[in-house]
Amino acid sequence: MPTQMAASLCTTFSPSTSKGVSLTVARECGQLVFLEGLKSSVDVFFRAQAEPHPLQFLREANAENLQPLYEFVREALKPVDDGDAAWRCPVLLVDNLSVLLSLGMGAVAVLDFIHYCRATVCWERKGNIVALVHDSGDTEDEENNILLNGLSHQSHLILRAEGLATGFCRDVHGQLRILWRTPSQPTTQRDRSLTYQYKIQDKSVSFFAKGMSPAVL
């Protein structure tokens, strides 16, 4: 039995190849449980469902219940056969949570979903959750701000990709801010941050210290 599993919830991503890792092979080997949001949403709208669908909220007016989606995650962590060992150190990938807001879910409902996922994945299975959230910088988007702030307070590692304050640059495409948080430490010692700049290549990304682009040197 593989020791690691990733359940990816997504609307545009397909399980082919990502960063040199064949997700199709991983899925065939039982290392990946994948829910493709775009395809699944079509099933919800146009096909009769004998059982609750993970995206059942799409058919419900003013729905604020993501329990079927959580149940999908919980069931994915169970052994396929009674004789198989349970997943160890699973990783839940959610790409991306902002889509749920666009589909009409409230920030509180999304945070509740993540809370239950953390209880199952992180605390019970000793795994991790990796979630993508968009930050447009629009202070008027209150729901997205609530979601972003709520997740930030719960996260131990925050990666924030952003553009350059100086605008477009041919050799530096943006910067990545990395923030580590250790809740058990005193307030003055619990946060540690680094900033790297990056350039997107054809098949990779180059990272370098801020102001140390090879083009500048």
pLDDT tens per residue across span 139-155: 678 899 999 999 988 89
**Rounded to an integer, what distance in angstroms lies between the CA atom of residue 20 and that of residue 131?**
20
pLDDT at 216: 52
Model pLDDT, residue 1: 28
Residue ranges of the chain whose pLDDT lies below 50: 1-17, 217
How much is the pLDDT for 24?
80
Q: What is the pLDDT of residue 208?
A: 86
Read off the tokens for 41: 């949403």
Residue in 66, 151, 67 with CA at minimum distance from that of residue 103: 66
* Of 41, 34, 35, residue with least CA distance to 55: 41
> How many CB atoms within 10 Å of residue 206?
15
152: amino acid identity, one letter: S
Provide the whole-model pTM. 0.77
* For residue 65, cis peptide bond before it (omega within 30 degrees of 0): no
Q: What is the pLDDT of residue 10?
A: 36
CA angle, residues 163, 168, 171, in degrees to nearest 5: 95
